[in-house]
Structure 1
């Protein structure tokens, strides 16, 4: 197997984790299986760059002297807001040559400026999805997944999702055993499915200000199989059902029912991805009661059945 060159582009005000996350994954895979990856970093002029958090990173050299990349990684950061035109030109010329073109966070903005995402489905950090869609209407922006693969181009939501995407690429290249070893070394999950939402139920809703409601939010996520009707939740919070529903929505930005629905769906997805529990068992544990009720929720929200979701997104067992 020929050694693959992973070229990571650096620029001033880059997000440090967008760089170091994927670098650690590919470097870890090289340590596990020597001769598989050569990780190279390069900046437009070959000069050190200062990240958005104040760290200084010294590249291996200038982009003009960088080797041809098997996998070209473009991180994000504040520097994507007004990028060096020379960097955009370099990406436009060299991006199509790489076997795989990868962006992390707002690195997708740089790819879009270079015309490399036109006609493709892509994602970026949730806070920048509207901007990406508005400024680049030829890009099919999906704000929900943590990463998206569209042919040879892969885009991710940023920060830790860059690690998820890099692990998926290592698994594609070298198999699950190597990817699992790297993940264990980094103390992360082997792989979150790319279509996993950028927000968990807790993050998607605001955290309530009042302690009873804040504690209730946490209790709901820990007990998805319990009676989570408005009357039961109101009693647990010590409020009347009407007062509870009004206060919950005012403080979290969503209704109790929607919060419960998202919590149960998230719990069921996690069980389908991470366990071998039967669909009926997952339905009961997640509060759906019956497999048919869970199937209706999955089809409505995800457009697929629980069985098909598991088939597509649960990692295959190690050989």
Structure 2
């Protein structure tokens, strides 16, 4: 319902009043119509959302875990680590789901970088595998505003590290500020996630030692050089090892985020939010045809190259 609709209703009412309503009654009648329609236009979206929430909150029989109950009744502090040359969807894909869930739950988001202010998605100048200079200055630049530095970041429950071509520049400059931040916060946080090549930072920070992890398959050999005694899983959409979650390339970060949010909040509200976004996530963490596409050593070549996943049901009988 919009103000245009209200005006149309007013015109209909006005035409009716000239035929059926006494002149003395018309202003009052119009006033009530316009007020009622305006109230409906203003409150309808909120009432629709409230109706959904009431419907979801009535799922008393859902077996929430103690961890999910605790997370639902506290404020979750999330920090997203970015740098110049980050991959756009590595950040904004997962943030979409975080944002949607910040209405029913209490979630805060800090964007963390080496310096506050605009952080560019356009990759800085760097050198390719053959040593030649790579100038990507013609690429579209989507900027995100860093709210905190590594020194000023607040206490965090969750850290998410993006991937992006910019990691090559940081490695060339021997800039370990992200790795140092991860290492300094790891024992204090409850969860850490990486998207795409972001797991390279986790590996170089030393927190993947003795653990399982995955990464983007397009530059698999580049990422998996880091870390000691890391079990790199070649065919995986995402991998969870304790409080560490790592995903494959770009869009896999969205699937991992859906799985992570279902893990910490339960299925009902999360699935409803995903369905509202009309997104069909892959729910099998071992589904990874791109490990075959990119010829990753050790990839499971028996998996199907195509998979169609339908919308999530609101109350599945069991979680993956």
Provide TM-score, normalisation by structure 1.
0.62
Q: Deviation of residue 55 (structure 1)?
A: 1.1
Task: Give 2:127's aligned residue.
Answer: none
Deviation >4 Å, runs of 4+: none
Q: Tell me, what secondary structure is at the counterpart of 2:290?
A: coil
2:101 paired with 1:29 = yes
1:125-149 Cα distance to aligned partner (Å, 9 max, x none): 0122223333434211112111000
Q: Tell me, what secondary structure is at the counterpart of 1:81?
A: helix
Higher-Rg member (1/2): 2
Unpaired stretches in structure 1, ≥5 consecutive residues: 207-257, 276-314
Change (3 A) 1:89 1:174: same
Unpaired stretches in structure 2, ≥5 consecutive residues: 1-72, 123-139
1:121-180 Cα distance to aligned partner (Å, 9 max, x none): 100001222233334342111121110000110100021111111111111122111111
- Which residue, 97, 109, 116 being the options, matches 1:46? 116
- Which residue, 105, 113, 131 being the options, matches 2:204? 113
Q: Deviation of residue 89 (structure 1)?
A: 1.4
Q: In structure 1, what is the Cα distance between the partners aligned to 2:85 and 2:120?
A: 6
2:83 paired with 1:11 = yes
Task: Give 1:296's aligned residue.
Answer: none
Q: Is the 8 A contact 1:168 1:191 kept in 2?
A: no
Q: Is the 8 A contact 2:237 2:287 kept in 1?
A: yes
Q: Deviation of residue 190 (structure 1)?
A: 4.7
Q: In structure 2, what is the Cα distance between the partners aligned to 1:104 and 1:138?
A: 20
Task: Give 1:204's aligned residue.
Answer: 293
Q: Deviation of residue 82 (structure 1)?
A: 3.5
Q: In structure 1, what is the Cα distance between the partners aligned to 2:303 and 2:241?
A: 27
- Which residue, 103, 123, 129 being the options, matches 2:214? 123
Q: In structure 1, what is the Cα distance between the partners aligned to 2:180 and 2:294?
A: 40
Change (3 A) 1:11 1:193: same
Q: Deviation of residue 316 (structure 1)?
A: 3.4
Q: Is the 8 A contact 1:76 1:104 kept in 2?
A: yes
Task: Give 2:155's aligned residue.
Answer: 68
2:79 paired with 1:78 = no
Q: Is the 8 A contact 2:79 2:109 kept in 1?
A: yes
**Superposition pairs of residues 167-246 of structure 1, within 5 angstroms:** 167-199=258-290, 204=293
Task: Give 1:151's aligned residue.
Answer: 242
1:35-58 Cα distance to aligned partner (Å, 9 max, x none): x31122111111311003521111
1:260-315 Cα distance to aligned partner (Å, 9 max, x none): x654x966x969x989xxxxxxxxxxxxxxxxxxxxxxxxxxxxxxxxxxxxxxx6
Q: Is the 8 A contact 2:289 2:303 kept in 1?
A: no
Q: Is the 8 A contact 2:115 2:146 kept in 1?
A: no
| Bigger RCO of structures 1 and 2 (CA < 8 A, at least 6 apart) | 2
Q: Is the 8 A contact 1:45 1:62 kept in 2?
A: yes
Change (3 A) 1:262 1:86: closer
Q: In structure 2, what is the Cα distance between the partners aligned to 1:157 and 1:127?
A: 9
Q: In structure 1, what is the Cα distance between the partners aligned to 2:249 and 2:293?
A: 17
Q: Is the 8 A contact 1:126 1:198 kept in 2?
A: no
Q: Tell me, what secondary structure is at the counterpart of 1:127?
A: coil
Number of residue equivalences? 221
Q: In structure 1, what is the Cα distance between the partners aligned to 2:216 and 2:275?
A: 25
Task: Give 1:59's aligned residue.
Answer: 146
Q: Is the 8 A contact 1:129 1:142 kept in 2?
A: no
Change (3 A) 1:56 1:178: same
Change (3 A) 1:124 1:183: same
Q: Deviation of residue 59 (structure 1)?
A: 1.7
Two-structure CA RMSD over aligned residues (Å): 3.1
